[in-house]
Amino acid sequence: MRAGAYDMTTTILAIFLIVYLGMILGGLPFLQLDRTGVALLGAIALIGVNALSLEQAVAAMHLPTLILLFAFMVVSAQMRLGGFYDWVTRKLATLSLGPAGLLAALTVVSAALSAVFSNDIVCLAVAPVLIDVCRQRRLDPVPFLLALACASNIGSAATLIGNPQNMLIGQTLRLDFGGYFLAAVIPVGFGLLACWALIVRQTGGRWQDAGPAEPPAAEPPREGAPFDGWQTAKGLVIAAALLAAFLAAPWPREHMALIGAGILLMSRQLHSRKMLGLVDWELLVLFMSLFVVNHALQRTGIPSDTVAGLAALGVRLEQPGPLFAATFLLSNIVSNVPAVMLLLPVAHHETSGLLLALVSTLSGNLLIVGSIANIIVVDAAARRGVAIDWKRHARVGVPITLATLAVSGAYLALRFQLGF
């Protein structure tokens, strides 16, 4: 290897390691950067040192995934502005159910919404209202908030649009939408049952909130968007049409989703500024930046050499067992989206797509930092004086993660042995 090429490889590897250190830490010491800022800075650095040209950097971005992600952010924005999530949460609170029954209803509804509208969006919209309605019913909000976070993560694994990493997996591996759902719904269903049962058991009948009925004065009850039946109906019709099209139509999913988003943007009441203001541009930038960083590393040959070296030691990442373990470990070290980007190049087995989607998503329940949905719920709780530290979350998250991964592992092993 020429000295210049060696130096460039070393530079690319150093930038990659710094970026992924930022993924682990959530930022970099002494700099006001979050994960998105670190990834963007890494992509800029790679272009700046001529590791990639601008054209190569743009080509590295998987446009179908980015379009699908953007389109469903617009659909979710429609639902938020129509007051749909607030309305659903308050309707749940009015059901004539005991605390355990209410927890079951919340678990099912959170999972169903997350399977279509993304777990992060559902948690962001539902968590503040859920705290308010729990206080009105004199219920301890913590078990319900934990159920919201865990059930949203589990439910989002049911479809190829439930979370960003599933979108990436589905688009990159060109997985069948209906086929994936039929395969994933069984472990997801068992996972939701385990989530509900574990939280009910840990609560031990102590559902009442010993704290004040009113939230702290610094954060008044959240009014949210008023319910608008017409705007909500528009969003639901488009979402239903897209799901039907994904199941039956032969056209690319990203094309159909983009058309649906365009229809929603044509509104006489909701200004496009409001709609686009609710798009998670930071997540899109994170995706684009990580595409560039990972592509630069792939060009060095280091990942393929590493995979070959592990294979020589008997660890074949393309096989289901090692891939399962690697997905679990990386998802909890660098987060699920970066983990999936690293592992997609070795996803050659016929069950790899299902495995990556299930394991990377379900692993997010282990610790608070394992999923953005967890962080959103914990932050919403803190703003209203409800403390959920990492120990309290881990009491629920760790056993739920182990139970759901055990079920998923057994299910995947059975599918592998039976060849379906």
- The alpha-helical segments, DSSP class H, found in 363-389 are 372-383
**Length of the chain as a residue count:** 420
Compute the distance between CA of residue 205 and CA of residue 220 in angstroms, rounded to an integer: 29
Query: Of all residues in the chain, what percent carry a pLDDT higher than 70?
Result: 94
Q: Give pLDDT, residue 1.
A: 52
Q: What are the angstrom distances between the C-alpha of 22 and each of 9, 31, 165, 212, 364?
A: 20, 11, 19, 39, 18
Compute the distance between CA of residue 222 and CA of residue 392 in angstroms, rounded to an integer: 25
Task: With a cut of 60, say whether residue 189 has pLDDT above it.
Answer: yes
Compute the distance between CA of residue 100 and CA of residue 284 in angstroms, rounded to an integer: 38
Name the band, by pLDDT with cuts 50, 70 and 90, for residue 348.
confident
| Contact status, residue 59 vs residue 69, Cβ threshold 8 Å | no
Please provide the average confidence, as pLDDT, over all residues in the chain.
90
* pTM for this model (two decimals): 0.89
Compute the distance between CA of residue 146 and CA of residue 401 in angstroms, rounded to an integer: 13
What are all long-range contacts of 278-281, with beta carbons under 8 Å and residues at least 24 apart?
Answer: 278/73, 278/76, 278/77, 278/80, 278/81, 279/70, 279/73, 279/74, 279/77, 280/73, 280/120
Task: With a cut of 50, say whether residue 288 has pLDDT above it.
Answer: yes
Mean pLDDT computed over 344-355: 91
Beta bridge partners of 208: 139
Q: Give pLDDT, residue 336.
A: 87
Task: With a cut of 60, say whether residue 275 has pLDDT above it.
Answer: yes
| Contact status, residue 127 vs residue 381, Cβ threshold 8 Å | yes
Q: What are the angstrom distances between the C-alpha of 295 and each of 12, 35, 71, 104, 353?
A: 10, 18, 24, 43, 20
What is 159-174 written as a DSSP string? Answer: STTSSHHHHHHHHHHT
Neighbouring C-beta atoms of residue 149, cutoff 10 Å:
30
What is 186-199 written as a DSSP string? Answer: HHHHHHHHHHHHHH
